[in-house]
Amino acid sequence: MLNRPLTGLVAGTVLGALDGLSALVSAPEIAGQIAGIVVGSSIKGLLAGVIVGVVARRMRSSPLAVAIGAAVAGAITAPIAHLNAVQYGQPSYYWKIMLPGALVGAIVGYVVVRYGEPGAPRARAAAP
């Protein structure tokens, strides 16, 4: 088994790429930019996965990891959604970018806690 940060890195990268490819369904007019979108989404997923993995090293709560994953991915995705909404003048881009991004983060949070190897317990100092 992989440790949780590495599990997050792998899951985030793969799910981020799938998230980027989903842009072809939600906004077919951007088909010419799909390579950049997939790379950007993969990087977003990678960052969110590593952050969630580091935070979840000693965590056992799947709901908490899902919430952290969604929050981290949402925070990473928000500026990208804002820039795209302003550039293309379509407020619907917030939903087309934010919802799949947060969903990827939530799934990564679950995968990290469910399948990642938790960190080793810390040794306690002996009391004199």
Q: Give residue 121's pLDDT.
A: 59
Q: Look up residue 13 and give its DSSP letter.
A: H
Q: Which two tokens stand for residue 70?
A: 């969604």
For 45-71, the pLDDT digits (tens) are 999 999 999 988 877 888 888 999 999
Q: Give residue 14's pLDDT.
A: 96
What's the whole-model pTM score? 0.83
The DSSP secondary structure of 24-91, one letter per residue, reads HHH-GGGGGGHHHHHHHHHHHHHHHHHHHHHHGGG---HHHHHHHHHHHHHHHHHHHHHHHHHHHT-T
Q: Which residues of the chain have pLDDT under 70?
A: 120-128
Backbone angles phi, psi at 60, to 5 degrees: -120, -5
Q: Give residue 71's pLDDT.
A: 93
Q: Are 65 and 48 in contact (CB under 8 A)?
A: no
Q: Give residue 123's pLDDT.
A: 55
